[in-house]
Structure 1
Amino acid sequence: MSIEVLDPRFDAEPVYWRRLLADAGLRADWAWDVLCEQAWCARTPWYLTVSLDGSRPRGLVGAAWVGARTRRYRFTASPRGGGFGGLDIRAPGSNAFPAWWFADLGDDAGCQELLRAYLPTMRRLLGVGLKAALIRQVPEAALDVVRGRLRVVRETEPIARIVTERFDSRADWFAALPKQRRMNLRKMFDAVDEDPRVVVEILRGEAVDVVELARLLRVNEVKHRDVPIVPLPQFVGYLRRLLAQPDVFVLSYRDTGTGALLGAGMVFDHPEWPLGRSWSSLPVEDGGRRGLYFHFYGELVRWAIAEGRRGVVLGKKMSRLKASMGAELLPQYAVAMPVP
């Protein structure tokens, strides 16, 4: 077994990368050209560590190096970590999925492999300056593996997903919801569906005006500044690469009178669990329309049923609201630990 540690800013796409994405079931934000663009737009250097059996990839871990020089408004510049810091093991795009995959995950979802093989490998690469690691998206089944002396384990926001394979139509999904939620949603959905001023479309990403979409997505980013380190805005270059991927769709709402993009959300397709990501809409006071956020989830359900998917992943945030729309909540944990 051999190990490669890659930096998308400087390394060319490995010959095995597309096979790795297919084997691991990874979505559009792991495509190499998307990773390259994301890495140059990040605050911190990124490392992609791949374990290989000959030429066949058997494992992947993505992590950001967070050092003393990391700042909110500073972009990454150094080709390597250096100094003192730690690894933030998190996915490069959506935080709805772990940043690692192993061919033989086991009951602990691969967490034992992170501790046994990955962290010692990175310590050898980065040296004694690597002092700590933060592992995100740890499932409940792996808690016994990650607990230990000097380790801090905390529950984070759960991942919401709606299982759609048991429904034949959106009406079946409606029927499974609590009565009050069902009545409210049906009223909102009918209002949008019957409004001649609103056209709803599911478009391939490459057909979308990237500048228009980026401008709309920034509306939502400005509204949700409730985290210690404010997320960077949507960069047009990154978004253009992402929308060009064949498994990216955009569910859009447009005003037929003014031509304004009222709301939009990206969908990362997947054979079993597509992901609804990056929703944003115009405020009502700026010409937007009420009810589009809820309608977006209804359209995701309708689309997932029509495409024969097991379900759709709704990500984090607003867990109680998503649960009221029939989503199951999957517990997630984070562990902070020293790297000896």
Structure 2
Amino acid sequence: MRVELHKGHGVEPPGWAAAVSAAGLHAAWAWPVLRARAGRRGVRALLRAEDGSVAGLAAWRGVPGATEVLCPASSVLPGVAADPGVWSEALRAVGGALGGAVLLRQLQEAHLPAVLRGPAVVRRGLSVAVFDNHFDSFDGYLAGLGKGRRNSLTTQLRRIDADPGLVCGFGRDALPEPAEVVGLVAATARRQRTGLLPAPSTGPALAAALLADPTTHWLTYRDRDGRLLACAYLLDHAEWPVLGSWGALAPEDGGRKHLWFHMLTACVRWCVAEGRAGVVMGKGSEQTKRTLGFRLRPQWTVLAHASALGR
């Protein structure tokens, strides 16, 4: 397998969109979305098999002392997109193109054997909440929750759905403006920030790219005057859609209580109706998400030498 390198902020390479479509990848791998997060050090790569066909995609950037391999538009997807059967070979090709220390983020348990072939530093990060869909209906999902959570959730959903001053949207209709998204996500990140690290952000370019992508669904909440109160986006996928950033006004600023719960259950309702395998619900609020019936999937960051990857 050989690696074809491209500057992340450059023009979309021939074959990139076709590769994303053929592999059924999330919109996080669409070139406009990747370009919005590229920066001057961002590199994107087509992984080609011996016959020249695309066998995978990869993304990385230079950081002090290492190369960071990650999917820049998602906090739950790794930086190498390849079928499980060729994962080790794809990782070996990436390692051969890089050299030196490599920091691999957002790895699942199945990815670890191919990156732990030599000395490595392994750190377990925040777990990712996952909704596993084995339900015939949304009512069946609710019936499986604990009594306390089921009763409180049902009450919250009923009140929000009956609010005449609230308009809820799901899909591609009445999309918000990039500036609206950026403002809400930034305000929410500041409220939830812990520790000394800067809060994650959704910049105008990324918001615009996700809004323009036809496979990305948007969940929006507006008041009767059209003011955006809350929003989130869902990266669609044939089996495992991924929930993206959430932004909402605080109630004291004109927002509504419990919209986060409504948004999560809207994703569940849609998933059940569409027959998807489940939804990857993202990080944070682990105990609350447990009460909503989601499982927690471990995720790791590994620092290793490029020469050991996939060997």
Task: Tell me the TM-score normalized by structure 1.
Answer: 0.83
Residue of 249, 269, 290 corresponding to 1:323? 290
Partner Cα separation in structure 2 for residue 227 and residue 206 of structure 1: 36
- Aligned pairs for 1:171-250 (under 5 A) are 171-204=139-172, 207-226=175-194, 229-231=197-199, 233-250=201-218
Cα offsets for 1:49-73 (capped at 9, x unmatched): 2221344101222112103xxxxxx
Cα offset for 1:189? Answer: 1.0
**Contact preservation (8 Å) 1:60, 1:101:** yes
The one-letter code sitting in structure 1 at the alignment partner of 2:73 is G
- C-alpha deviation, 1:221, in angstroms: 2.3
1:278 Cα deviation (Å)? Answer: 0.8
Aligned residue in 2 for 1:76: none
> 1:47-86 to 2 correspondence within 5 Å?
47-53=43-49, 54-67=51-64, 85-86=65-66
> Structure 1 229/45 Cα, relative in aligned 2: closer, same or farther at 3 Å?
farther
Q: Is 1:122 aligned to 2:98, yes or no?
A: yes
Give the secondary-structure state (helix, strand or coil) at the position aligned to 2:297. Answer: strand
**Residue 141 and residue 211 in structure 1: after superposition, are their counterparts in 2 closer, same or farther (change >3 A)?**
closer
Q: Secondary structure of 2:293's match?
A: coil
Aligned to 2:12: 13
Structure 2 residue matching 1:157: 3-state secondary structure:
coil
Q: 1:284 to 1:65 in 2, by over 3 A?
A: same
Q: Determine if contact 1:132/1:336 at 8 Å carries over to the other structure.
A: yes
Tell me: CA distance 1:220–1:173, structure 2 relative to 1, closer, same or farther (3 Å): same
CA separation in 2, counterparts of 1:293 and 1:100? 31
SS in 1 for 2:125: strand
CA drift of 1:227 comes to: 5.7
Q: Distance in 2 between matches of 1:39 and 1:276?
A: 21
Specify the SS of the correspondent of 1:47. strand
Unaligned runs of 5+ in 2: none
Matched, 1:167 2:166: no
How far has the Cα of 1:112 moved from its partner? 6.3
Distance apart, 1:244 and its partner CA? 0.5
DSSP 3-state at the match of 2:33 = helix
Q: Residue 4 of structure 2 aligns with which residue?
A: 4
**Residues 60-93 of structure 1: per-residue CA shift (max 9 Å, x gap):** 22112103xxxxxxxxxxxxxxxxx311111111
Distance in 2 between residues matched to 1:144 and 1:210, nearest whole Å: 40
C-alpha separation between the residues in 2 aligned to 1:47 and 1:60? 11
The amino acid that maps onto 1:276 is L
Q: Which residue of 1 aligns with 2:264?
A: 297
Q: Which position in structure 2 is the counterpart of 1:89?
A: 69
2:124 corresponding residue in structure 1:
155
**Aligned-pair CA distance for 1:151:** 1.2
Alignment identity in percent?
33
Distance 1:205 1:191 in 2: 23
Question: What is the match of residue 286 of structure 1?
Answer: 253
Unaligned runs of 5+ in 1: 68-84, 124-130
Pair 111,333 (structure 1): closer, same or farther in 2 beyond 3 Å: farther
Q: Cα offset for 1:37?
A: 2.3
Q: 1:338–1:138: structure 2 CA closer, same or farther, 3 Å change rule?
A: same
**Aligned-partner Cα distance in 1 for 2:287–2:239:** 24
Check conservation: 1:98, 1:136, Cα contact below 8 A.
Answer: yes
> Does the 8 A contact of 2:128 with 2:283 survive in 1?
yes
User: Aligned residue for 1:275?
Assistant: 242
Aligned counterparts of 1:292 and 1:271: Cα–Cα separation in 2: 26
Deviations 1:141-199 (A, max 9, x none): 344443365411122122211122x2232211100111111111111111111111111
CA distance in 2, matches of 1:142, 1:232: 25
Give the structure, 1 or 2, with the largest relative contact order (CA under 8 Å, sep 6 or more). 2
What TM-score do you get using the length of structure 2 for normalisation? 0.90
